[in-house]
Structure 1
Amino acid sequence: MTQDNNQEKTQEINELDKSAEQAPAADAAQEPAAPLTPEEKITALEAQIQEHQDQFLRAKAEVENARRRSMEEVAKAHKFAIEGFAENLLPVLDSLNAALTDSGSDSAKMKEGIELTLKQLISALEKGRVIEINPIGEKFDPHRHQAIAMVPHEQEANTVVTVLQKGYLIADRVLRPALVTVSQPK
């Protein structure tokens, strides 16, 4: 039996060798029989170049269109960003126009109307994130205050004593610094 087993194994090995020899022949049958001529290679490469150029131009155009669209959106945002703020100011404008057309001579009513208009204006500014800086008693901050003078005072040095003109912030950015006088060191 060992001889039969050896013969079977030998036969199996021979079959494996034959199939391994036939595999490259099968691969060769799938490849083109004749190699490409230089002209055919050039034509194929030119077609590939044309395809890559077309893809490049399409990608470039797509990027350019995206850039143009984003620039238009930014321009629109800048153009119409003030729209909400302007809408908040319109009632103030209406009140001022009404005050100018009023022919009454009652100064108490005029003062009351001006105070109401001022409240409307302050409300409109707050809605637009414009906040008043009124720093009396605060430490001097050169980023938010502009010192006009130093005066002798009982307060600690570099403390705001008087506000000559209020300052304003817009979204935590100084729109106008407050004009102040500051206490000088003793």
Structure 2
Amino acid sequence: MQDEQNNNLQDEAASGAAAAAEGAQGAETAEDRLASAEAKLAEMQDAFLRAKADTENIRRRAQEDIAKAHKFAIENFAEALVPVKDSLEMALKVESPTIESLKEGVEMTLKQLASAFEKNRLLEINPAQGEKLDPMKHQAISMVPADQDVNTIVSVLQKGYTIADRLLRPALVTVSQQKGS
């Protein structure tokens, strides 16, 4: 019986040792998983911080680009107007200009100015007689009796302008009213 008890004790000890070994092996696996998860967390934190820094750099660069665009937005237009100013100054330096030379100089200067306007998308609004009044581009100053359709342009008092498809100044016009009014 004592042999039987010894065998039982040995079996229990062996089972305990096996269970302890199994538990130790399970603990190592959990420790390995924890270490792996911590490494992955550190990697993700690093990636997040890098992405956050990249986003901040992009935002800062975009703000700088916007500030530069605002600061230098008129630069192209100014460059186009400088030759016009030069021509006007040269015309004033002529000692004894003739009417023909003044007229020729003014025409050339006007061409330079028109070219500067065109390059910078500053376009004239000069409606033709009989064209329908467009309140988005024209401002009616008065209505006059005329032999044409009602609310059509009779004459242009002052040209209008758009810049990049946006109204800068409406054309000032007179329009026709109903006949007999």
TM-score tier, shorter chain, comes to 0.7 to 0.9
**Corresponding position: 1:167 with 2:160:** yes
**Corresponding position: 1:184 with 2:172:** no
**Structure 1 residue 51 displacement after superposition:** 4.1
Q: Which amino acid aligns with 1:136?
A: A
Give the total of aligned pairs: 156
Question: Take 1:45 and 1:123, find their aligned partners in 2: how far apart are those partners?
Answer: 68
**Structure 1 residue 146 displacement after superposition:** 0.8
Q: Which amino acid aligns with 2:168?
A: L
Which of the residues 105, 117, 121 maps onto 2:113? 121
User: Which position in structure 1 is the counterpart of 2:12?
Assistant: none
Question: Take 2:115 and 2:43, find their aligned partners in 1: how far apart are those partners?
Answer: 62
Q: Which amino acid aligns with 1:147?
A: A
User: Which position in structure 1 is the counterpart of 2:137?
Assistant: 144
Q: How does 1:1-186 map to 2 (within 5 A)?
A: 33-35=25-27, 49-137=41-129, 138-186=131-179
Question: Take 1:52 and 1:118, find their aligned partners in 2: how far apart are those partners?
Answer: 65
User: Which structure 2 segments of 5+ residues have no match?
Assistant: 1-21
Question: Take 2:171 and 2:78, find their aligned partners in 1: how far apart are those partners?
Answer: 24
Q: Any idea what SS the aligned residue of 1:58 has?
A: helix
Question: Take 1:133 and 1:59, find their aligned partners in 2: how far apart are those partners?
Answer: 50
Question: Take 2:65 and 2:110, find their aligned partners in 1: how far apart are those partners?
Answer: 35
Q: Any idea what SS the aligned residue of 1:33 has?
A: helix
* TM-score (norm. length: structure 1): 0.71
CA RMSD, aligned part only? Answer: 2.8
Question: Take 1:118 and 1:110, find their aligned partners in 2: how far apart are those partners?
Answer: 12
Question: For residues 13-64 of structure 1, what are the alpha-carbon distances to aligned partners after superposition, in whole Å with 9 as ceiling and x for unaligned?
Answer: xxxxxxxxxxxxxxxx9xx703269999888766655443333222111111
Question: Take 2:120 and 2:83, find their aligned partners in 1: how far apart are those partners?
Answer: 14
Q: Which amino acid aligns with 2:68?
A: K
Question: Take 1:126 and 1:86, find their aligned partners in 2: how far apart are those partners?
Answer: 13
User: Which structure 1 segments of 5+ residues have no match?
Assistant: 1-28
Q: Which amino acid aligns with 2:87?
A: S
